């Protein structure tokens, strides 16, 4: 057969229309539902973003209050899910999150209802419960009791509270809030694509979103923040950054936290985490991580800008989590917690105007071979 034109990695393939987010990779522009990420990062809250991403509009006071109340009322997870978490506690936190999320289908009366209204409610419940799962797992594996959600705290505040069993200060809550905002939605990235593939078979939102958790886990996607922090710890000291990175690049290894399939300019989300990483490092009297990162981005990797390789959202994130005392294998789950509304919105769009996602592969293996019975091989 003739060689068909391949689109390996589906790079630059437009597979559908969307109203969820706009990305111009050449100039580093990102809009959620038409609103600039810089405005949203500086002026909004994660609760507002959840509303925006799922309903398409910014909420008024009453709408926001209702959504916030719904999240607060739905943070608890069933005891049976805690039992599941306990049973699989030795797994990576992303595997535990995926397991618990699909497990929640068993306790959700609407799990098989694929109407838009039910899917928005399920998206809100999954958004509300995801931090409870991640923090309960971390407590359980540390030999501690899970901390119940606190109805007096917002989404970001609850994540920190349930993780550390301490009421977090406003500044840290706001830092986590911005982080969740920046991760909320990003077009048909690998994990959202995985979610859409499931949705395109008319599978359920729980199945689609837990599948997305699996796709996010890899270092090419959600795992970069953790890898960047590992690298910073290995570098240890700003003076060592250059030699370390050069060795890696000479071996044709990648420097994590750089490069992006869509952005050929700086990822607009990186700016907000850069500012906060610097401020937090100074405040905590530990500016070393920011200095190492700055050295990598401003010096070592500067020549790569000509090739469109700039820092991405994950580059500064790890340093912030590390300074907050968050264990490194929870960095990817944090990305997931922010992304639940985006995955859900992408699925809801897919259900609304569905077409089965089923591309083709060009077969290049041997043809028409003779079957030889096993005893004769």
Cβ-based nearer residue to ligand CMC, 199 or 270: 270
User: Can residue 343 be called a binding residue for ligand CMC (CB under 6 A)?
Assistant: no
> Backbone dihedral region of 56: left (phi > 0), alpha (psi from -120 to 50 degrees) or beta?
left
Residues in contact with ligand CMC, counted by CB under 6 A, come to a total of 19
For the beta sheet containing 35-36, the strands, ordered from the edge strand earlier in sequence to the opposite edge, are: 21-24, 29-32, 35-36
Of 258, 289, 310, 316, the one binding ligand CMC by CB under 6 A: 258
Cβ-based nearer residue to ligand CMC, 259 or 333: 259
User: Can residue 220 be called a binding residue for ligand CMC (CB under 6 A)?
Assistant: yes
Please confirm, yes or no, whether 314 is among the known catalytic residues: yes
CB of 24 to ligand CMC, least distance (A): 15
Among candidate residues 183, 260, 295, 322, the one labeled active-site is 260
Closest of 74, 342, 112, 127 to residue 205, by C-alpha: 112
Looking at residues 194 to 213 of the shown chain, list those that interact with ligand CMC (rule: CB under 6 A): none
Closest-CB residue for ligand CMC? 259
CA-CA distance, 141 to 86, in Å (whole number)? 8
- Give CB contacts under 8 A, 24+ apart, made by 43-48: 44/181, 45/154, 45/177, 45/181, 46/154, 46/155, 46/156, 46/177, 46/180, 46/181, 46/184, 46/338, 47/71, 47/154, 47/155
Of 45, 204, 312, 319, the one binding ligand CMC by CB under 6 A: 312
Question: Position of tokens 């981005």?
Answer: 297
Closest of 282, 273, 261, 263 to residue 315, by C-alpha: 273
CB of 43 to ligand CMC, least distance (A): 23
Closest of 260, 243, 256 to residue 300, by C-alpha: 243
CB of 267 to ligand CMC, least distance (A): 7
Cβ-based nearer residue to ligand CMC, 187 or 287: 187
Sign of CA dihedral 86, 91, 93, 96: negative
Cβ-based nearer residue to ligand CMC, 139 or 260: 260
Please confirm, yes or no, whether 183 is among the known catalytic residues: no
User: Can residue 6 be called a binding residue for ligand CMC (CB under 6 A)?
Assistant: no
CA-CA distance, 143 to 164, in Å (whole number)? 13
CB of 9 to ligand CMC, least distance (A): 6
Per-residue contact string for residues 226-255; x = within reach of ligand CMC by CB under 6 A? ----------------------------xx
Sequence-ordered list of residues with C-beta below 8 angstroms from that of 282, at least 6 positions apart, any chain: none
Active centre residues (catalytic): 260, 314
Interacting residue ranges for ligand CMC, rule: CB under 6 A? 9, 186, 189, 220-222, 224, 254-261, 309, 312-314
């Amino acid at each position: 057969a003739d060689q068909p034109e391949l689109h390996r990695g589906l790079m630059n393939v437009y597979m559908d229309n969307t109203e969820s987010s706009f990305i111009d990779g050449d100039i580093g522009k990102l809009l959620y539902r038409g609103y600039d990420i810089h405005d949203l990062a500086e002026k909004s809250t994660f609760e507002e973003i959840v509303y925006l991403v799922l309903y398409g509009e910014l909420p008024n006071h009453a709408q926001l209050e209702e959504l916030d109340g719904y999240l607060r009322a739905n943070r608890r997870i069933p005891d049976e899910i805690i039992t599941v978490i306990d049973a699989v506690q030795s797994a990576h936190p992303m595997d535990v999150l995926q397991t618990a999320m699909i497990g929640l289908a068993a306790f959700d009366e609407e799990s098989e209802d694929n109407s838009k209204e039910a899917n928005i409610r399920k998206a809100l419940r999954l958004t509300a419960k995801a931090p409870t799962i991640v923090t309960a797992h971390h407590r359980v594996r540390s030999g501690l009791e899970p901390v119940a959600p606190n109805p007096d705290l917002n989404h970001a505040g609850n994540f920190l509270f349930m993780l550390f069993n301490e009421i977090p200060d406003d500044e840290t809550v706001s830092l986590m809030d911005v982080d969740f905002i920046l991760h909320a939605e990003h077009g048909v990235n690998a994990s959202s694509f995985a979610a859409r593939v499931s949705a395109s078979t008319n599978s359920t939102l729980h199945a689609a979103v837990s599948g997305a958790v699996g796709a996010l886990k890899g270092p090419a996607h959600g795992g970069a923040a953790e890898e960047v922090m590992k690298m910073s710890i290995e570098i240890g000291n700003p003076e060592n950054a250059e030699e370390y990175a050069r060795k890696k690049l000479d071996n044709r290894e990648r420097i994590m936290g750089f490069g992006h399939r869509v952005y050929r300019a700086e990822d607009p989300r990186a700016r907000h985490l850069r500012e906060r990483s610097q401020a937090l490092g100074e405040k905590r009297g530990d500016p070393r991580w920011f200095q190492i990162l700055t050295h990598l981005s401003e010096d070592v990797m500067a020549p790569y800008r000509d090739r469109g390789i700039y820092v991405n959202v994950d580059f500064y994130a790890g340093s912030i989590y590390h300074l907050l005392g968050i264990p490194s294998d929870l960095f990817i789950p944090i990305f997931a917690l922010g992304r639940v509304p985006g995955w859900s919105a992408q699925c809801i769009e897919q259900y609304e105007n569905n077409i089965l996602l089923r591309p083709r592969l060009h077969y290049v293996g041997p043809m028409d071979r003779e079957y030889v019975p096993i005893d004769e091989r």
